[in-house]
Structure 1
């Protein structure tokens, strides 16, 4: 790795990730993409407890330095360990909005440490997560451009702006509406929108954060998008031409991980042994016969919902890999698996099913030929990972911009079927439960019929487009080259 004061390299890019896995993982890939280009070095600015996650995913040959800054936990009134992506992913949501308000306050207090780090390392530009809107001013103090990273694609970005500006949901609490101005007839309901969009309460910290993010984007140099033009061309054009956002599509950034060990370790929590066991199990299955079920790092379904998923899989009767992120730190010592699984479920499905508790090597699983479908929460990382390996999807959004991503998958791309989730899941135990019958119908349609075959065909076409986009001469490869050239010219290198 390079050191912060190493004078080599014609362009020095600083990267500031947000402390959650869904944000950190792709922005680390972005750092690797920058560092892979001739004459570019990269510094990732992060906190002490997040440094191991970052360093684990950086090849030893990459010219990437890690600059540490102190996380102001005491000043914000949050636990010291809350700075880690693991804590935020597995525990923070259960601690309620008061903790989240304090956590985002702590994130805002990173401003002074960031200013000091930037003054020390003197980069030519700053790529920072959208959740750090104040970083535009930090970059401005040094006279360097700030590039925004949102962690989602063009469709969701455009939808969010159209809803924020036109507020079509204000007319009804239950009826669906067509998103104004957005290309295509995209329908949503108010219950599928983020709370910051639905309520817009005066003084609500999240509402204020969304406003600051929108304002800071206008003050920034542009936006880096983890997507590729061929996937959502109408929305890429709309984002640039109608919304006036300068942007560069450089994805799918997950494809920067080309070696098996990089794919297996993406996320920083896997082991070679667990990956090997899972892949060995898949080798015993026929092509396109297994459905993979995973809801990301934040979704926390109630036991009643998990039982419905189990009942649907057993009734369907096909092969499955089901990732269940039950956090042992939040379970009672007396809790047994039968409290969230039908009694005897694992014995009855032993030949056809594999349950993974905790982390799973998702990319390696998805790219295996035995996997024919993906039940997903429609987080953007997972959605893109499914697309890059040509998998059709059963869509089950639970929060954030995931309902927007679902519409892209089902209504625009035609590679997914919904389970008809209608509102956010908060993991409180009183959420609306989607019954086994509906889950089974969606899985069966995807895995067993002609409808699913056609979706898999379309998904495989998108897979080839994604792979071409990142190769030399492809749209994303060229977009990153253009951005680097522009930044070099701007810095007078």
Structure 2
């Protein structure tokens, strides 16, 4: 079994959402840099995101291939042209999208038969990928788009159900059997979990968790020094096989690599850098809520006023819902003129790592999605935490309670896409706390220390470099024994 040569070959199959695709592409680049042949599988309308990386990778001598398979829009009852979950869609369409993932089973089987790779890195949202890989004796590695802390927190919640022992939605409860004292409320986790609901979504996620448990192991985009107690808890206490190989975003070394991640930026790279170059170190706060969350006009207005009242310089990335009105509904009158030179608003997609890594940026208002969390950590900046849904309330606890490099804005309610409503006073207070004063210096000092650890982790001899070596050697050994 295997390739015509002895070169290790790994297929990467990311879920069709930028928050999953971008780290998977970075992962493929890291494997390729070690001499592993990497092939990424995606669909026609998602292919350009991968192609940019391949063109750049070819220039750098990387070996990354691309295989395009058709998106089953008709069979799934989805609109033509909707191939990515970041596109605006109703809850019904999103459910159909998740259920459509099982229709990729046959195309994947054909690719595995054709390539006979040494490993398959398949997103955790493809639970059926395990059975397909097993059919050909290929180890399936699940990719979790989050860190060890969130994985351990969710395991504690599902195993112990501590939310059942409280009298109200706002009463804090302790997550049992974790290395630190971590408390949440019922408002901060999904109703599906707390109410024990059973529907297509809950069945899908349960199947995904069970499939991951039975897989060969899990690849985690994190580094050991960030969450050592939780890496140990996952692997030794819970007995799960996993490798930490991140932060994968750090494989993008120069400005062009950073700018080309994801979609085309809505601002010219030179214009963005020129603005930042005119600012003092640690004087700008960057505000962005990821690729999926889209706040209503009323919330955007509160953010605008809170940023102005804070007196801080800022870059603010705004993504509005399609049905929102023109900009005057969410920007105070004359706002951009008043903020000229002090605030830069980017409408659409921003080159996030390019901005965060600039010395002028001294803080980050984030929704606590794992990619953004890790990119903020890697840049060494303290964070204002504003979780919206998914794993984000767990990640907030890691930043505020364990690492102590974040200050919460006060979001208390888990609400998909739009989040809890936060008023301008709370935004102003949190931004000031992270950017100015004695507390800010303590946060920044700890954040910069972690940023240094992140960079060392992926260098030769670092914790993530070593763990990736161990995984590559294990895959070689696995196939040598067949």
Report the TM range for the smaller structure's normalisation. over 0.9
- 1:32-181 equivalences under 5 Å are 32-38=29-35, 40-58=36-54, 59-60=57-58, 61-83=61-83, 85=84, 88-92=85-89, 95-96=90-91, 98-172=92-166, 173-181=169-177
Partners of 1:90 and 1:297 within 8 A in 2: no
What secondary structure, in the 3-state scheme, does the structure 2 residue paired with 1:374 have?
strand
**Do the aligned partners of residues 36 and 484 (structure 1) sit closer, same or farther apart at CA in structure 2, a change above 3 Å counting?**
same
Whole-angstrom distance in 1 between the partners of 2:240 and 2:68: 31
Hey, what does 2:260 align to over in structure 1? 265
1:244 matched to 2:239: yes
Q: TM-score, normalised by structure 2?
A: 0.95
Q: How far did residue 259 of structure 1 move?
A: 2.1
- Indicate if the aligned counterparts of 2:388 and 2:420 stay in contact, CA closer than 8 A: no
Shift of 1:432: 4.3
**What residue in structure 2 maps to residue 294 of structure 1?**
288
- Cα shift readout 1:220-256 (whole Å, capped 9, x = no counterpart): 1001010000110000000011111101100000011
**Which residue number corresponds to residue 472 of structure 1?**
460
Off by >6 Å, runs of 4+ in structure 1: none
Deviation at 1:199, TM superposition (A): 3.1
Which residue number in structure 1 is paired with residue 399 of structure 2?
409
- The residue aligned with 2:444 is 456
Among candidates 296, 310, 317, match of residue 316 of structure 1: 310
How do 1:171-320 residues align onto structure 2 when only pairs under 5 Å count? 171-172=165-166, 173-202=169-198, 204-270=199-265, 274-320=268-314
SS in 2 for 1:82: coil
Structure-2 separation of matches of 1:441 and 1:483: 45
2:412 to 416, 422, 432: 422
- The Cα of 1:422 is off from its aligned counterpart by 0.5
Aligned mate of 1:343, from 329, 333, 338: 333
Q: Does the Cα contact within 8 Å between 1:301 and 1:425 map onto a contact in 2?
A: no
2:47 pairs with 1:31:
no
Which whole-Å CA distance do the structure 2 matches of 1:113 and 1:427 have between them? 31
* Aligned residue-pair number: 474
Preserved CA contact (<8 Å) 1:257 1:263: yes
CA distance in structure 1 between the aligned counterparts of 2:178 and 2:231, rounded to whole angstroms:
12
1:57 partner SS: helix
> How far apart in 2 are the matches of 1:314 and 1:35?
45
For 2:259 and 2:277, the matched residues in 1 are separated by: 16
Q: Secondary structure at the match of 2:421?
A: coil
Instruction: Provide the C-alpha distance between the structure 2 equivalents of 1:391 and 1:264, rounded to a whole number of angstroms.
Output: 19
Contact 1:11 1:41 in 2 (8 A): yes
Q: What SS class does the counterpart of residue 40 from structure 2 fall into?
A: strand
Report the TM-score when normalising by structure 1. 0.93
In 2, the alpha carbon distance for the partners of 1:102 and 1:119 equals 28
| CA apart distance, 1:8 | 4.2
Deviation at 1:270?
2.2
